Structures are given as C-alpha cells and as structure tokens.
C-alpha cells in the first residue's frame, strides 16, 4: 500500500513580500511524515481570490489531502473561506454552531461580538468544523481540503485536531550518516548504492562547519529492515564517517 | 507601469519530508521586494523529473521570472539541470567554459575532478552561466528561468549575481502600525480605510506578546506620498497605537 499524498497551500501576501517567514509548512511536513502521509507539493499564493481558487482546485484534484493556512480571520484581507466555497461551487454563510461558539467566547472575554468577529462564523455549505482550542474561531474541512489559521500556534492546534481523523500509512523513516567529505567525492559510490535499493530514497546534503566541508547522507523509507540493511552498507562504504 | 512578476520554485525531498526548513524563499522574497519585482507564487516540489518539468513550464508561462533553488550538485538526486532542459526541449551536455571553471577550482584545491564533479558542468543549450563565488559550480539562466543552488549561502550569492541584471520596478514600500487590540476590534475601520486607498495593499497580522493580544497593521505600495497619507489616516484612527 502506498501512503496517502498531500499538498500544503499557504495563503498570504506577507509571506510573498518577505515580511513574514512561513513556519507552518515545516511544521506540517514533519507531522505528516510521522503520520505516514506523503507531502508532495507546497504552494504559496497571495490574498487573491482567483489565485486561491485556482490553486485549491489544482491541488485537491491531484492529491488525497490539501491543507491550507492563512486568511480565515476577521479582517477584509481574510478571503480564504469565500475562495474555498467558490472553488467547490457551494454557498457560504454564517453558520449557527460556529456563531454560537464565537458568541460564547466573546461574552466570556467581555468583548463585543461585532460584525467583523461574526465574519469568522462564515463557513461553506457542507463543511465540518475544525476545533480551535487557542482562540475559538474554527477552521473547517470541506471534501479533502482542510482550512486552517495562519497564526502558528493556532495552525498547530488545528493540525492536532485534524490529523488523528485521517488515515495514515507507514511512517516514513529516515537515518543519516555524516561524512567529512564533499558531495563530489561520495557521489559515485552513493549513486551505486541508491541503484541497489530502488525502494528507498537516498539524498545527500552538503554543509560547511568550522570551515570543513561535509555531507549528510540521508536514507528514507518505510521498511525498517531494508533501511537498516542499506545503512550497514553505507557505513561500510565510508568507514571514517561520524556517528 | 506595473512591476515585473516572479515565482520561486524550491526543489527538494528534504523540504517536503520536514528534514530541512527552507529559508531561500524568505531571502528571495525580501530581495525581490527591494528590487521592485513582485513575487506572486512559490512552489515546492520533490526531486522528481515529471514534477519539476510541470512546475517550471507552468510558472515560466505565468510570470516574468522564475527562480529555482536546489538539485544542481554532483549527486544522483541532483536532477534539476536535466529537468530544465526537458522543460525547454533543448539538449544538455558538459559545457567547455563551465568545465574549465570547475577543473581549475578542483586543481587549486588539490582534489580530483572526477565524473561526479564534471556533472556540475552539464548546462542546457542556450543558457547563460550564473556566477558562484562560493564554490564555483555555476547556476544558469535559460529564458526567464534562473537556476540556483539550494545551499543557502550559495543561493544568496547567486541571487546577488542575477538580480542586478534584471529590470526592476518601483520598490514595494511598507509601513506598519502596531495596536494593542485584536483584529476583530480594528477590522471595520481598517477595511473602510483600505477601500479609500485601492492603490495600496493593507493587511493585518495578529500576535500575542506577554499574554496581550495585538495586531500589526501593514500598508504596502509603491507611491511614498500615498503611503504617508494613508499612514496619517491610520494613526488618527488608532491614536493609542504604539510607534
């Protein structure tokens, strides 16, 4: 059985302008790998209705799951929910259960439940709410698209709400060996080893530390026995490697 | 005149598996903004020939420039140059000038110029080399696609080699105001102000600091006079804001 596939769609002008460095992709990538879902593609698009709709429709057709971050707050630049509804060609409006959650939240906080905040209860027809234990305003799942907040701690809480509901595959395992040689020296024997293990993925990542050139050799796969065998072979190829 | 547009294509399994956190996108986004080129989309794809070819062809048709990072080293998982050649339907082979650069580099270093290292002189037909002052192995520009290394300091050096050769537009300017209120409180007046300045882009970014909820209000545009006018109006709306 091959693992389910996924894509991430980051929505936000602030990422594209260089104002904010996206960290949600890195977080989600690690969580999906542990859960046995293969992240195959990431896209970042602006707060632009047409761009969001096009990306959502391309990605939901190509992968088993799509995770989005950003654009579900109360301000005028938060247009993700409407774009998702448009992508699925369903209606969108204030939903009673989401509105009740938010109303109770703002009542407890002693804050006005004004029109902007009520906007966060706009949910596309047919969606399931995603719990937000941080600040109440929910995300939602529509079809295979999971729509979450961009604020990192809320995004992470929503990922924790969604992931256990998804069927994962075998977690992707990885082991690495660090060698004190440049990529150009190890490339030949490393490629030969990779050809012997077509079921595993082997990558090399050069680095410079304290002025010394080295390479991390990484082997990834879902079968721990095959991974162990390949690592034994790799260590024999480069006996001077560091543990 | 509107500014030229650009897309970034990050190539690498290690980003999608969560092993490595991509920082090249954040770096490029800031540099492009300063240079007056609008970054409109980012994609991350795996070390997969078909995925790279499809992404390159989609992005180079849609934007004025495409910047890629990753996959131009000496190992078997470095397949970007071949994928770019395939995307443009041109041939690829070892190029004499790139080979001469690399041969001299390895001779100076006292290292063997072996087959793996010679692979880094494979350049698609018709490309211009991009200077690599860090480790010599060049990037290249083919059509509107600029192909660069994934290692951050090499990527940054290549961006510095390429950007001065590209015609930029008016740099995107931004100013921000920090207010000690949640997004839900400022959304109404902020949206009204945004509607009065359709030539500017206004975004709001909530944060929590020391347990206090606040929002950064950011206004972006290329006309410094309009930006100053909008900031004056914004400050008047939220007189308690922090400088």
Give the integer Cα–Cα distance in Å for A175 and A160: 26
Q: Which residue has the tokens 């409006």?
A: A93
pLDDT at A242: 56
Are the C-beta atoms of residues A174 and A234 closer than 8 Å to each other?
Answer: no
Q: What is the pLDDT of residue B241?
A: 67
Scanning every residue of chain A, which has its alpha carbon at the shortest distance from the alpha carbon of B115?
A188
Q: CA-CA distances (angstroms) from residue B221 to A152, B169, B175, B225? A: 26, 12, 9, 10
Predicted pLDDT at A243: 47
Q: pLDDT means per 10 residues in chain A (243 residues)?
A: 91 95 97 95 97 98 98 94 98 97 93 94 97 93 98 94 90 89 91 95 84 86 94 91 57
Partner-chain contact A18 B32, CB within 8 Å? yes
Count of other CB atoms within 10 angstroms of residue B22? 25
Q: What is the ipTM of this complex?
A: 0.89
Asked if A115 lies within 8 A of B14 by C-beta distance, the reply is no
> What is the pTM assigned to this prediction?
0.90
For residues A45 and A11, give the distance between their C-alpha atoms in angstroms, rounded to a whole number.
5
Pull the structure tokens for residue B235. Answer: 């400050």
Task: Using the Cα atoms of residue B17, residue B23, residue B26 and residue B32 in order, give the sign of their dihedral.
Answer: negative
Query: How much is the pLDDT for B1?
Result: 59
Question: Which of B39, B195, B204 shows the shortest C-beta gap to A75?
Answer: B204
Do the chains contact at B111 and A44, CB–CB below 8 Å?
Answer: no
Contacts A–B by Cβ distance under 8 A: 195
Beta bridge partners of B145: B66, B142
Q: What is the distance between the alpha carbons of residues A76 and A81, in angstroms, rounded to a whole number?
A: 12
**pLDDT at position B172, please?**
84
- When computed from its CA atoms, the radius of gyration of chain B, rounded to whole angstroms, is 22
**CB–CB of A157/A133 below 8 Å?**
yes
The Cα of B56 is separated from the nearest Cα of chain A by a number of Å equal to: 13
Q: For chain B, list residues with pLDDT below 70.
A: 1, 241-243
Other C-beta atoms lying within 10 Å of the C-beta of residue B36: 17
- Most B-contacting residue of A8, A16, A31 (CB-CB within 10 A), to test interface: A16
Task: Write out chain B residues lying below 8 Å of A14, CB-based.
Answer: 203, 205, 218
Chain B residues lying within 8 Å of A56, measured CB to CB: none
- Percentage helix, strand, coil, to 5, in chain B? 40, 25, 30
d(CA A178, CA B211): 42
From chain A, the residues in CB contact with B54 under 8 A are none
């Amino acid at each position: 059985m091959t693992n389910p596939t996924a894509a991430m769609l980051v929505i936000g002008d602030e990422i594209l302008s260089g104002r904010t460095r996206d960290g949600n992709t890195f977080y989600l990538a690690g969580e999906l790998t542990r859960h046995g879902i293969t992240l195959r593609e990431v896209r970042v698009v602006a707060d632009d209705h047409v761009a969001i709709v096009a990306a959502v429709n391309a990605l939901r057709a190509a992968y088993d799951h799509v995770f989005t971050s950003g654009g579900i707050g109360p301000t005028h630049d938060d247009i993700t929910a409407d774009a998702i509804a448009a992508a699925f060609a369903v209606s969108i409006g204030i939903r009673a259960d989401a509105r009740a959650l938010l109303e109770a939240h703002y009542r407890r906080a002693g804050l006005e439940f004004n029109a902007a905040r009520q906007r966060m209860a706009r949910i596309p027809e047919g969606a399931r709410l995603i719990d937000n234990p941080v600040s109440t305003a929910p995300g939602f799942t529509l079809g295979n698209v999971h729509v979450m907040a961009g604020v990192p701690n809320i995004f992470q809480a929503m990922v924790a709400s969604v992931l256990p509901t998804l069927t994962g595959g075998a977690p992707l395992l990885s082991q690495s060996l660090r060698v004190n040689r440049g990529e150009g020296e190890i490339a030949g024997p490393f490629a030969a080893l990779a050809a012997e293990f077509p079921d595993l993925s082997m990558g090399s990542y050069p680095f410079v530390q304290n002025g010394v050139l080295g390479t991390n050799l990484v082997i990834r796969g879902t079968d721990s026995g095959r991974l162990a065998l390949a690592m034994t072979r790799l260590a024999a190829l480069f006996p001077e490697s560091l543990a």
